């Protein structure tokens, strides 16, 4: 394209010339398919949120309705939506393929190409917990041999972004040198958000100031006073700081204002889930999204769903849509064509996403039940096996973000009738101290467990701890030794 120049002469009382140029420029941008956004949104909804979404869609979409036909004899679902019953699958004909859910009879795989018509979950990151966010980033900076150290440190980072254990404690728990733990922690502290993994406020602010300095947006005076003169900062000795740094008091005050307004003393707060913003607020009623029941033949898993979830496409809209697709819709105006196609395809996509959500939750819960049977049988945290979302995603051949969306903010009712969050089954929700406390609470009082025996039991369950770590955590909970506990 030819460049075009436009000249504008100066105004009265001055001389000048303003030059405008026009040209072509190529830029790259990433766009997410609206179908993927809808599928991700539905997958992440809790049971109550999903009920509201279904009610809203029924109001807005005239092509969507709740079927009133008799339920299937095999699975007790409406026959129009019978996707799991093996008896009804045999009766499906070729005419049932269009605008139906039968093409989702195979297990849903969310790891394929996002551009494919059959995939509705993109391999894109979701807004998940702080620990999940860090585990995703840490794989790119930490060597493979140190992933265990990194995972332990990340699991001990609280919602505010601070490390809840010392490097010496981590080294004892993992049986490695403290220098190795320090090296991995230094890598974690380079991750986003800035200041993450700090052990105290001073280190948190220093990390943020160093990152800003590297980006050319820092304040040298602020970095110097935090790094080298922290006691004077706490005491607000402005004059002393000015003398030591050989700057004016005005520059010191500007540096303190920079710290106050540009730094975040709680770097992890941006990743705190909305349902934990008021952790002590118990006014809401928790309803399970999945129910696990114990039967004679094993465990039965039910994804809780309201009758309104059993949706279907209105028969009149479906017939009109098939006529348009078959070239027999000459009697419809252009506006009618757009109306029919838009709402029928929207309804079909909504139904597909509901069924995908149900299948995904069932698959994930089934895998968790198989892996955590010890906990389901005893309801003791001591029998919880170490499990990460990444490990579960690989076992199910899903993306890690899919597992995070499906489990975040959702609850499961156990065979004991207890309702727990899905987060309970993953690392970071159960500490070694809890495991040690549960083992001692359930021991034989006539023959209590020694510290070495506790360490061996934990190692058998996949938790690598040394005897001295057991002693330290036991004493931290003010639990007596095995000799003193013997009755």
127 within some domain: no
pLDDT digits (tens, 9 = 90+) for 30-58: 555 667 777 778 888 877 788 888 888 88
pLDDT tens-place string over residues 310-359: 788 888 888 888 888 888 777 888 888 889 889 988 988 898 888 889 99
Q: What percent of the chain has pLDDT over 90?
A: 4
Residue 453 lies in a domain: yes
Predicted local distance difference test score (pLDDT) of residue 261: 82
Rounded CA gap, 310 and 471, in Å?
55
The DSSP element (H or E) to which 352 belongs, if any, is helix 334-371
* Res 445 pLDDT > 60: yes
Report residue 26 as tokens: 């190529």
3-state secondary structure of 96: helix
Q: Confirm if 313 and 347 have CB atoms less than 8 A apart.
A: yes
Distances (CA, A) of 157 to 57, 148, 266, 276, 433: 40, 15, 12, 16, 16
What pLDDT is recorded for position 367?
A: 92
Let me know: does 389 contact 395? Beta carbons within 8 Å: no
Give domain status of residue 344, yes or no: no
Q: What is the DSSP string of 387-398?
A: --HHHHHHHHT-
Which DSSP symbol is given to 99? Answer: T
Better-predicted residue by pLDDT, 434 or 29: 434
Calculate mean pLDDT across residues 136-163. Answer: 83
- Asked whether residue 463 is domain-assigned, the answer is yes
> Of all helices (H) and strands (E), which one includes residue 18?
strand 17-22
Give the total number of structural domains in the chain.
1
63-119 tens-digit pLDDT: 888 876 555 554 545 554 454 454 444 444 433 333 333 233 333 333 333 344 444
Structure confidence by residue, pLDDT tens digits, 353-408: 888 899 999 999 999 999 888 888 887 776 778 788 888 888 998 888 888 888 88
- Is the model's pLDDT at 124 over the cut of 50? no
Does any domain span residue 267? no
Higher pLDDT, 26 or 245: 245
What secondary structure does DSSP assign to 190-243, as a single string?
A: TSSSTTTTBSSHHHHHHHHHHHHHHTT---HHHHHHHHH-HHHHHHT-HHHHHH
**CATH number, position 478:** 1.10.10.60
Q: Which range of residues forms the domain containing residue 453?
A: 432-485
Strands (E), 250-363: 290-295, 298-303, 312-313
Q: What average pLDDT score do residues 131-138 get? A: 77
For 449-453, the CB contacts below 8 A with 24+ separation are 449/482, 450/482, 451/481, 451/482
Regarding predicted confidence, which is higher, 61 or 214? 61
- The mean pLDDT of 414-424, rounded to a whole number, is 86
The pLDDT value recorded for residue 65 is: 87
Percent of the chain with pLDDT over 70: 75
pLDDT tens digits, residue range 271-308?
Answer: 655 444 444 443 345 778 899 998 888 899 988 876 55
pLDDT averaged over the chain? 76
More confident call, 10 vs 392: 392
Which residues, other chains included, contact 380 with Cβ-Cβ below 8 Å and sequence gap of 6+? 438, 442
In a domain, 441, yes or no: yes
What's residue 16's pLDDT? 55
Mean pLDDT, to the nearest integer, of 457-482? 81
pTM over the 0.75 mark? no
Could you tell me how many helices (H) and strands (E) the chain has, helices first? 21, 8
Structural domain includes residue 442: yes
Residue 268 inside a domain? The answer is no
């Amino acid at each position: 394209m030819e460049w075009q120049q436009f000249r504008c002469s100066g105004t009265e009382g001055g001389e000048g010339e303003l030059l405008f140029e026009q040209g072509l420029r190529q830029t790259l941008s990433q766009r997410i398919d609206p179908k993927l956004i809808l599928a991700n949104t539905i997958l992440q909804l809790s049971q109550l949120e999903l009920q509201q979404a279904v009610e809203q869609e029924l109001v807005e979409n005239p092509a969507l309705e709740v079927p009133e036909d008799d339920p299937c004899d095999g699975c007790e679902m409406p026959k129009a939506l019978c996707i799991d019953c093996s008896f009804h699958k045999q009766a499906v004909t070729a005419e049932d393929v269009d605008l139906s859910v039968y093409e989702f009879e195979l297990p849903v795989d969310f790891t394929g190409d996002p551009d494919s018509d059959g995939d509705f979950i993109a391999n894109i990151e979701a807004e998940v917990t702080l620990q999940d966010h860090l585990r995703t980033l840490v794989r790119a900076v930490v060597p493979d041999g140190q992933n265990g150290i990194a995972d332990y440190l990340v699991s001990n980072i609280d919602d505010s972004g601070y490390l809840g254990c010392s490097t010496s404690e981590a080294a004892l728990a993992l049986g490695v040198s403290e220098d190795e733990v320090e090296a991995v922690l230094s890598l974690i502290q380079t991750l986003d958000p800035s200041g993450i993994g700090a052990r105290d406020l001073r280190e948190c602010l220093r990390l943020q100031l160093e990152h800003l300095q590297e980006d050319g947006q820092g304040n040298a005076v602020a970095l110097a006073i935090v790094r080298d003169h922290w006691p004077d900062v706490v005491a607000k000795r402005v004059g002393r700081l000015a003398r030591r740094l050989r700057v004016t008091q005005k520059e010191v005050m500007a540096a303190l204002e920079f710290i106050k307004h540009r730094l975040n003393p709680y770097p992890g707060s941006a990743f705190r889930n909305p349902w934990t913003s008021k952790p002590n607020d118990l006014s809401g009623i928790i309803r399970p999204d999945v129910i696990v029941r114990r039967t004679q033949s094993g465990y039965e898993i039910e994804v809780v769903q309201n009758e309104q979830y059993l949706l279907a496409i209105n028969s009149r809209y479906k017939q009109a849509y098939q006529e348009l697709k078959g070239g027999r819709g000459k009697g419809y105006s252009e506006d009618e064509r757009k109306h029919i196609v838009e709402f029928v395809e929207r309804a079909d996509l909504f139904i597909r996403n509901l069924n995908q959500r149900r299948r995904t939750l069932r698959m994930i819960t089934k895998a968790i039940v198989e892996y955590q049977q010890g906990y389901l049988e005893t309801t003791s945290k001591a029998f919880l096996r170490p499990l990460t979302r990444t490990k579960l995603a690989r076992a199910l051949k899903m993306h890690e973000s899919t597992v995070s969306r499906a489990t975040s903010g959702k609850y499961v009712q156990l065979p004991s009738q207890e309702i727990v969050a899905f987060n309970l089954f993953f690392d970071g929700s159960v500490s070694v101290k809890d495991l040690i406390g549960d083992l001692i609470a359930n021991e034989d009082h006539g023959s209590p467990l020694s510290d070495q025996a506790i360490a061996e039991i934990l190692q058998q369950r996949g938790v690598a701890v040394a005897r001295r770590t057991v002693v330290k955590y036991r004493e931290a909970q003010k639990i007596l030794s095995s000799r003193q506990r013997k009755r």
